[in-house]
């Protein structure tokens, strides 16, 4: 049986001739079809690539993401370490201001000089295009502040060393130890400032520090000087006043007895025994009342024990003195 031939030609109706005419397709048609398929394939390819890149990560991207996460974690650890370092520097600066500079009577350094001002500056703008720009800028700012504080503090210590070298004799005369043996701080009774009067039960200003101790406990001169007064004084009881020169004067009150051989005008050195603890004058128990005066103004004695106490003991003394609300006199 002969095979039928199927005509695969395409026809179209021509309205002018009213006949169906055979469509003749040249190479341009087929080229267009091929280009069409290629375009569709390319569109699907672009779509697939967009979906892949948006929702899927390549191994390199996953590695970069892990590295970024580790860097962020490291920056957070660094931030905490910088905070701790800044706290230590703040403590050093506070001791410098309230201790060493007080002792050497030199000008204070303002906080703005120590830390600088980095709040309104364009120096950190170069990190604005980073994803982790906030934490990078924050840590960089902390490091800048820490570096400045280290520089200023180093210069401050250099200045204080020079002042100390120039003031060797003066330092011998400045009150610098506790007036009674008090290494364990158990004799610290009441501090400087507003306290409850033990007799009148009213709040008044306490001009010194009280050290509780048994009658007869030795009292030491806290710096080299000249005995300005020895005798009875209203409220103080038996009292010794030492003029250390350079504007420094110290009071030792409620004494039971004076050291033999001492007299008004006598020279004493730091650590010399000058008297013994008692309970004379306006006193509610055996103790020593100790005052420091500089250029005629009463000062907080706790700032004048720098040869006697470690930084930890100094902080503990401040805590004990502040917590005792009543004085002994």
The residue ranking higher by pLDDT, 300 or 167, is 300
Q: What is the pLDDT of residue 137?
A: 80
Q: What is the pLDDT of residue 273?
A: 96
| Closest among 174, 166, 208 to 191, alpha carbons compared | 208
Q: What is the pLDDT of residue 198?
A: 60
Would you place residue 55 in the very low, low, confident or very high pLDDT band (cuts 50, 70, 90)?
low
Predicted structure pTM score: 0.51
Would you place residue 131 in the very low, low, confident or very high pLDDT band (cuts 50, 70, 90)?
low
Cα–Cα distance for residue pair 235/283, rounded to 1 Å? 8
Per residue in 72-122, pLDDT (tens digit) is 777 788 888 888 888 888 888 888 887 777 777 677 788 888 888 877 677
Tally the C-alpha atoms within 13 A of residue 204's C-alpha that lie toward its C-beta.
12
Q: What is the pLDDT of residue 159?
A: 83
Q: What is the pLDDT of residue 216?
A: 94
Residue 231 has pLDDT above 90, yes or no: yes
| Residue 11 DSSP SS3 | strand
Cα distances (angstroms) measured from residue 299 to each of 12, 27, 175, 282 = 116, 108, 11, 21
> Which of 70-79, 187-196, 294-303 is predicted least confidently?
187-196
| Residue 27 DSSP SS3 | helix
The residue ranking higher by pLDDT, 203 or 268, is 268
The residue ranking higher by pLDDT, 125 or 207, is 207
The residue ranking higher by pLDDT, 229 or 10, is 229
Which pairs from 10-16 meet CB under 8 Å and 24+ separation? none
Percent of the residues in the chain that have a pLDDT greater than 90, as a whole number: 25
Chain mean pLDDT for the chain: 80
Read off the pLDDT of each residue in 119-147 and give the average, rounded to a whole number.
76
The residue ranking higher by pLDDT, 241 or 193, is 241
User: If you write DSSP's letter for every residue of 264-278 in order, what string do you get?
Assistant: TT-EE-TT-EEEEEB
Per residue in 262-296, pLDDT (tens digit) is 999 999 999 999 999 999 988 888 989 999 999 99
């Amino acid at each position: 049986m002969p095979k039928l031939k199927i005509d695969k030609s395409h026809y179209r109706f021509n309205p002018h001739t009213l006949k169906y005419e055979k469509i003749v397709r040249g190479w341009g048609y087929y080229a267009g079809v091929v280009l069409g398929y290629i375009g569709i394939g390319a569109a699907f390819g672009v779509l697939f690539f967009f979906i892949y890149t948006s929702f899927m990560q390549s191994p390199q991207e996953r590695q970069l993401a892990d590295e970024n996460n580790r860097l962020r974690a490291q920056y957070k650890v660094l931030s905490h370490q910088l905070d701790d370092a800044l706290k230590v520097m703040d403590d050093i600066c506070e001791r410098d201001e309230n201790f060493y500079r007080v002792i050497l009577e030199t000008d204070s350094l303002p906080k703005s000089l120590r830390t600088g001002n980095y709040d309104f500056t364009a120096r950190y703008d170069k990190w604005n295009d980073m994803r982790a720009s906030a934490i990078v800028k924050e840590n960089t700012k902390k490091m800048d502040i820490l570096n400045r504080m280290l520089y200023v503090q180093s210069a401050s210590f250099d200045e204080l060393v020079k002042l100390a070298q120039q003031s060797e004799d003066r330092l011998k005369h400045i009150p610098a130890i506790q007036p009674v043996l008090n290494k364990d701080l158990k004799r610290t009774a009441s501090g400087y400032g507003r306290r409850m009067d033990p007799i009148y039960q009213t709040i008044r200003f306490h001009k010194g520090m009280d050290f509780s101790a048994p009658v007869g406990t030795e009292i030491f001169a806290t710096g080299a000087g000249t005995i300005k007064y020895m005798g009875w004084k209203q409220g103080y009881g038996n009292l010794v006043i030492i003029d250390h020169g350079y504007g420094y004067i110290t009071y030792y009150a409620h004494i039971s007895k004076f050291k033999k051989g001492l007299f008004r005008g006598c020279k004493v050195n730091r650590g010399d025994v000058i008297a013994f603890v008692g309970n004379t004058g306006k006193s509610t128990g055996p103790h020593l009342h100790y005052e420091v005066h500089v250029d005629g103004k009463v000062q907080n004695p706790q700032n004048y024990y720098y040869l006697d106490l470690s930084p930890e003991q100094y902080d503990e003394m401040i805590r004990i003195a502040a917590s005792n609300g009543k004085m002994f006199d």
